Amino acid sequence: MTTDSSPTSGNRAYSQFYAGYTAYPPMQSWLALSGVRLTQPDRFSDTDPSDVCTAAFHGVAIFPPGPQAVKDSVKDNGPYAQTIQARLSDFRDKLVPAANDALRELAKMTAFAVPSDDPETPPSKKVLLLTVEIEDNKPFTRDDFMQFPVMSEGFIEAALQYEQDRLYAHKTLRERLDHFVADYGFPHFKRFKSFMDRLDAHAYKAGHTSYGHLAIPTRYLNMMVARYQEPKLLAEVEEKRDLLGQQTPFVIRSFFDCRVSSRPFHIDVQSDGVLVRLDAGPFRGSTFIFNSVHVSDRHQVIDPGLLP
């Protein structure tokens, strides 16, 4: 949700997903036979509701399922509070010691500074070694790091984030909501909620009820079940509900589509992924295993008889 030209975490996540998702030619054929068009990574924007909903349809939920999920997450001992604690611990126990070790090594290798506790250095040549110290009553500022001979921008950003994070426990609900959505590039919760409304409107227009249904596969599965009355289909869905609930909305929709209408492919779900048979296109007659994150490395031809 940034406005500059640098890629956001959402754009990067989509690019990584796209590379693996479309790398296997039969998968490309299945997408084409399904009538699905994926946005090219260089054109993808996590500020575009269409792109965000399409990504979620294929298993990449860039944003939380809705405002209520955020409110639940920021409660005491909620998932986000655990995320905050993990970030605080990583900075305190991993990043700071690593930075100080790097500063110590730099001091040993250069003439401008020598560790003051080095027993082999004459007292006249000893220089106080600069270290990063966490102080409860002195929060980090960007200017603090100007005194260091070298310090990565990534570490500085982590230090500034640390100062924001350690105030989290003392924040009001509204402040916690703003803190949460800042991770997604929103200036405050109200702006986030407005964007979520746009996502819901686009998802509804595309026939998916809401963005939350795309972001939570089990919710999407329940939506699809509610649309059909065929006893045989519903019985099969119930039998395979646990497996279907682990798939993406795209796979769930495809499962229904190829059972209620004539489609140029057929799929079934099993414990190690999705079994896909292509009945048209350049890979007509081929069958492969796919999972919701990436195509399996087992690209061997599978006996089509395994599919009902």
131-165 pLDDT, tens digit each: 888 888 888 888 888 877 677 888 999 999 899 89
Is the separation of the CB atoms in 264 and 283 below 8 Å? no
Is 56 found in the same domain as 110? no
Q: Which residues contact 29 (CB under 8 A, 6 or more apart)?
A: 278, 281, 282, 283
In angstroms, the CA 156 to CA 108 distance is: 23
Q: What tokens were used for 80?
A: 């986000």
In angstroms, the CA 152 to CA 186 distance is: 25
Indicate the number of domains in the chain.
Answer: 2
- pLDDT score, position 277: 94
Of the residues 182, 205, 220, the one at which a domain ends: 182
Domain around 142: 71-182
Q: What tokens were used for 302?
A: 């599978």
CA diameter of the chain: 89
For residue 199, give the H/E element and its range: helix 189-205
Of the residues 182, 207, 237, the one at which a domain ends: 182
- pLDDT score, position 307: 36
Is 130 found in the same domain as 219? no
Residue 220 lies in a domain: yes
Greater pLDDT, 226 or 8: 226
Q: What tokens were used for 266?
A: 């057929």
Is 85 found in the same domain as 117? yes
In this predicted model, what pLDDT tens digit does every residue of 115-132 receive, in sequence order?
Answer: 455 566 555 444 456 788
Residue 277's SS3 state is strand
Question: Is pLDDT of 1 > 50?
Answer: no
In this predicted model, what pLDDT tens digit does every residue of 80-116 receive, in sequence order?
Answer: 888 899 999 999 999 999 988 888 887 777 654 544 5
Q: β-pairing, 273-278 with 287-290?
A: antiparallel
Q: What tokens were used for 56?
A: 């979620």
Is 207 found in the same domain as 134? no
- pLDDT score, position 40: 93
Is 302 found in the same domain as 236? yes
Residue 265 lies in a domain: yes
- State the pLDDT confidence band at 273, using cuts at 50, 70 and 90: confident
Is 142 found in the same domain as 55? no
- pLDDT score, position 281: 93
Q: What tokens were used for 151?
A: 């310090």
Residue 106 lies in a domain: yes
Closest alpha carbon to 180 in 72, 88, 254, 262 = 72
In this predicted model, what pLDDT tens digit does every residue of 163-185 receive, in sequence order?
Answer: 989 988 889 999 999 999 998 98
Q: What tokens were used for 207?
A: 């026939």
- pLDDT score, position 129: 61
**3-state SS record for 211-259:** HHHHHCHHHHHHHHHHHCCCHHHHHHHHHCHHHHCCCCHHHHHHHHHHH
Residue 84 lies in a domain: yes
Residue 187 lies in a domain: no
In this predicted model, what pLDDT tens digit does every residue of 23-68 receive, in sequence order?
Answer: 888 999 999 999 988 999 999 999 999 999 999 999 999 999 999 9
Residue 278's SS3 state is strand
Residue 4 lies in a domain: no
Is 147 found in the same domain as 89? yes
pTM of the model as a whole:
0.77
Is the separation of the CB atoms in 25 and 5 below 8 Å? no
Is 122 found in the same domain as 44? no
Is 160 found in the same domain as 228? no
**3-state SS record for 38-71:** CCCHHHCCCCCHHHHHHHHHCCCCCCCCCHHHHH
Residue 1 lies in a domain: no
Residue 2 lies in a domain: no
Is 46 found in the same domain as 133? no
In angstroms, the CA 39 to CA 67 distance is: 26
Q: Which residues contact 299 (CB under 8 A, 6 or more apart)?
A: 24, 288
- State the pLDDT confidence band at 242, using cuts at 50, 70 and 90: very high
Phi, psi of 28 (to 5 degrees): -60, -40
Q: Any idea how long the chain is?
A: 308
Q: What tokens were used for 65?
A: 């399922």
Is 206 found in the same domain as 173? no
